[in-house]
Amino acid sequence: MTTASIRPLTAADAEELARLLAASRELDAPCVPERDDAFFTAEAQRARIDGTHHVYGIFERALAGTIALSNVAGAPFESASLGYWVAAARRGRGLATGAVAALSDLAFGELGLHRLEAATLVDNVASQRVLEKNGFTRIGLAPRYLRIAGAWQDHLLYQRPVDD
């Protein structure tokens, strides 16, 4: 198992991130939202980094992926949604698992959240493993939950409340 670290992305990471996304584009297409050519430019990635809170790079020496919290809600929910991606050439080495562990620590510690949730395509077994290895449990099936690859697709929902 390799060691993943995370840190907030900055504009200086945009060019490398665009390169990694472009290299993974074909493989990722079935499991990500539809993206036009402009998405794979450094300019678009710079704008995404600048315009998004809680977006982190996954690093193992160099940049290897991204992990982000969205829909961060205050009391009484104190919950956020988790999303992650690892560059195709760096998969299968524990990086997503390590990054989810690191961001969970930050979410439950520094950010003081009570709960994290995540959703995977029904056939995305790798992502389900990443969540299960981090103490997430499956809480249901949401029909037509997210628009992925141009179609509304069913997702399995997972959550992890903070440890007592």
Ligand X SMILES: CC(C)(COP(=O)(O)OP(=O)(O)OC[C@H]1O[C@@H](n2cnc3c(N)ncnc32)[C@H](O)[C@@H]1OP(=O)(O)O)[C@@H](O)C(=O)NCCC(=O)NCCS
Instruction: Report how far residue 151's alpha carbon sits from residue 64's, in angstroms, rounded to the nearest whole number.
Output: 28
Q: How far is the CB of 127 from ligand X (least distance, A)?
A: 4
Smallest separation (angstroms) from ligand X to the CB of 84: 5
Binds ligand X (CB under 6 A): choice among 19, 91, 114, 115:
91
Q: CB 46: neighbour CB atoms within 10 A?
A: 19
Q: Which amino acid is at 131?
A: L
Question: Residue 130, interface with ligand X (CB under 6 A)?
Answer: yes
- Rule CB under 6 A: choose which of 40, 49, 56, 97 binds ligand X: 97
With CB under 6 A as the contact rule, the residue among 22, 73, 125, 142 that binds ligand X is: 125
Which of 112/132 has CB closer to ligand X?
132
Scanning 11-19, 40-48, 102-110, 125-133 for contacts with ligand X by CB under 6 A, the matching segment is 125-133
Cβ-in-10-Å burial (0-12, 13-18, 19+) of 26 comes to: exposed
The count of residues in the chain is: 164
- Of 9-17, 41-49, 68-76, 88-96, the segment contacting ligand X by CB under 6 A is 88-96
Binding mask 103-122 for ligand X (x = CB under 6 A): -----------------x--
Using the minimum distance from each CB to ligand X, give the nearer residue, 97 or 104: 97
Applying CB under 6 A, does 76 fall inside the site for ligand X?
A: no
Phi, psi of 13 (to 5 degrees): -90, -10
CA 115 – CA 118 distance, rounded (Å): 10
Separation CA 33–CA 136 (nearest Å):
23
- Tell me the angle at which helices 125-132 and 95-108 cross, rounded to the nearest 10 degrees: 50
Would you tell me which residues interact with ligand X (CB under 6 A)? Answer: 28, 31, 84-86, 91-97, 120, 124-127, 129-130
